Amino acid sequence: MKLPIKILILLLWALSSCHSQTSQNDTMKFKELTLEEAQVILHKGTERPFMGEYTYTKTSGTYLCKQCDAPLYRSTDKFESHCGWPSFDDEIKGAVKRVPDADGRRTEIVCANCGGHLGHVFEGEGYTQKNIRHCVNSISMTFMSDQQSIEPTKDTAIFAGGCFWGMQHHFTKVKGVISSAVGYIGGTARNPTYEQVCSHTTGHVEALLVVFDPAQTNYETLAKLFFEIHDFTQTNGQGPDIGEQYLSEIFYVDAEQQKIVQNLMQILTEKGYKVATKLRPAEKFWKAEDYHQDYYEKKGSNPYCHIYKKIF
């Protein structure tokens, strides 16, 4: 039985998309794309103007790459350009790569992590003070609101060591850290607020989730830093911050991370330290309110209770 020519073309296109994605997956694992997503992300197509899911979105949060979940843009950099597609005048540092477009006139933008097509970037239009417009296809992105939970993966690390402001301050300086978020983990309450966590009724601790590039750093390096920036022998909190939300804990995402931490704890014990840090499997990580994110970077100061001390 002969297939209609239209269906045959779609089948060939799907096979081409799968092949293209498989060749990229030699070093990275990407999400499976629909035909429409593949047309834009893999084959550099363009979705129809004014039809995208995020064209008019104003919710506070972060826009991620649809194919690999790498953070791309913050909602604070989004503006209305009336061009028909989501527009941003800045990207998260190192998240977006610019390449000459095949048409020889425009500049294409792709995800720096996976190479997926996002759209095009334009300068000199005068829309904002930065005078830059990233014109991005909605279908190339997903959106994570500031109060959305995050499912940990093998390239994430979750540490709790007192006030999460100071933790984030130190980890964002590490080469290979792609992004970080402060939040809550370990308790029973869903989508907890800071006030609820402070009431000591949720069981959650203040924690930091770090997304890292395994080609530039590794989990052991990050775990060592964790022990070197807080008092892991304190049993009732961290410094003057007393209570269960400030306890020292590590949440591992797999057996490899668990083994690495156990080995480090053994080394510390042999050095004479009484390690109070708890080790637990990772659960859902609830991102904290926006005003908690990058606190010391916004304030322009250094943490009072997280000071680096070389141990390893």
CATH number, domain of 222, equals 3.30.1060.10
Q: Can you give the CATH number for the domain in which 72 is found?
A: 2.170.150.20
- Residue 74 neighbours by CB under 8 Å, 6+ apart: 62, 63, 90, 92
pLDDT of residue 146: 63
- Classify residue 309: in a domain, yes or no: no
Q: Are 38 and 120 members of one domain? A: yes
Compute CA 301 distance to the chain's CA centroid, rounded to the nearest angstrom.
24
| Residue where one domain finishes, among candidates 145, 172, 192 | 145
pLDDT of residue 123: 96
Q: Are 172 and 290 members of one domain? A: yes
Which amino acid does the sequence have at 172?
T
Supply the range of the domain harboring residue 207.
149-299
The pTM of the whole model exceeds 0.75: no
Q: Are 162 and 241 members of one domain? A: yes
- Classify residue 13: in a domain, yes or no: no
Token couple for 117: 């097509």
pLDDT of residue 1: 43
Active site residue 163: yes
- Classify residue 17: in a domain, yes or no: no
| Residue where one domain finishes, among candidates 145, 170, 185 | 145
Q: Strands 248-252 and 278-281, how do they pair? A: parallel
One of 111, 114, 135, 305 is an active-site residue; which one? 135
Q: What is the domain count for the chain? A: 2
Q: Are 123 and 158 members of one domain? A: no
Residue recorded with tokens 């913050």: 74
Half-sphere exposure of 268 (CA within 13 A, CB side): 21
Please answer whether residues 140 and 91 qualify as being in contact, where contact means their C-beta atoms are separated by less than 8 angstroms: no
Q: What angle do CA 274, 279, 283 make, to 5 degrees?
A: 155
One of 111, 114, 163, 305 is an active-site residue; which one? 163
Q: Could you tell me how many helices (H) and strands (E) the chain has, helices first? A: 7, 18
Token couple for 268: 């510390």
Mean pLDDT for back-to-back runs of 10 residues, the chain (312 residues): 46 42 48 93 96 89 87 92 96 94 93 96 96 97 74 86 95 93 91 87 95 94 98 95 96 96 98 97 89 88 88 95
Q: Are 171 and 277 members of one domain? A: yes
pLDDT of residue 70: 84
| Residue where one domain finishes, among candidates 90, 124, 145 | 145
Please answer whether residues 146 and 184 qualify as being in contact, where contact means their C-beta atoms are separated by less than 8 angstroms: no
Please answer whether residues 46 and 101 qualify as being in contact, where contact means their C-beta atoms are separated by less than 8 angstroms: no
